[in-house]
Chains A and B, each alone.
Chain A
Amino acid sequence: MLVCEDLHKDYLVGNETVCALDDVSVRVERGEFLSVMGPSGSGKSTFMNMVGCLDTPTQGRIIVDGETVSELSRDALAEVRNRKIGFVFQQFHLLGRTSALDNVELPLLYAGLPRAERVARAEEALERVGLGDRMGHVPAQLSGGQQQRVAIARALVNAPVVLLADEPTGALDSATGVEIMELFQELNEAGITVLVVTHEPEVAGYARRVLRFRDGKVIADERQPARMTA
């Protein structure tokens, strides 16, 4: 479902090459719940951006849902992001002065869906993350946890094949972080493939498989029993 083969990513800083990813090969099956761990600067975000079609590798191949994305053009990548990927960021990245509903509608706008369908699907996604009663609120009127839920609803609204989250609990207090992780777990149980980057073992405990990075390499790929829901 999600295949990475011999991924390399080099950055040129000044006249030195920084190797952010070094020969990474990973296979993720449909319905998996994966957490990505590792020290700061180990290449987790770089890996996620690559898988999320936000960035292209210097070398190697990425296949998302049967489509080799590592050789696509900018616009084609945008289309893959729109149809197949749901991305959740640490800083939420919601549009200010824009209601929760409009924020969630955004991917559907670029998908070119008619208004009625956009609204219906955005409402459904917001209800799914437990914000059915906050649709008209703008980000400034929502708590951090609620804002991240809106961002998750936005990631879900286009029914992606994979949900990618880069430190989704990093900007939240631990209690709220737990709620968010439980939401991911719930979504995973409903059949969505989830990849979560985190520093906290606590958070990683929700996943059934842990990928450990160090210096741009995958140093461990472990399966663990799924944590029981609270």
Chain B
Amino acid sequence: MTHIHEDKHDDQFLVKRVLDGDTSAFSIIIRNTERLVTQIIFKMIATEEDRKDLAQEVYLKAFKNLKGFQFQSKLSTWIAQITYNACINHLRKKKLTLVDNDAWELDDTEILQSKEHSAWNEMESFILNKEMIRILQFEIEKLPSLYKTIITLYHNEELSYKEITEITGLPAGTLKNYLFRARKILRDRIALHYKKEPL
């Protein structure tokens, strides 16, 4: 808990420096948040060029609106929120969807097949197979953008439910529901892969 307090302290110090005209302090803010911003953009946006443009847009926006930051969350959460919203707007403009793309949903027969758990009995050899890392990345990539963003924020960035609801604006119940569904899709799909490509 002291950690959170410390971070808020650092946030206040950095924000004050930038607002006092010390622009160089903003580069520290970029360095502190770059990883999180990058994860969200890469999971939400598919095209390389758009990703770069969005990252710049996010930080210019954060710089411009820094005066309005009220320290109600961590600075990193606030910037992640700006990132998420910029991505949503971008997807909207391009008429791309967040979740309701049916292509990724497994049909029931596939899921039934994957329920044979004997396929997973030799998980250790599965883990040793480097090919599976590639398959894992490929399957995450195939998830709807919102699902892979949530999976990454929770499992790779190790953010709490509270932080992810702040970033995405999703109600806690919905977030949890999406996270559970995303995990299940991944598990089912990996099981299918295992069956199709025996070691």
Chain B binds chain A: no
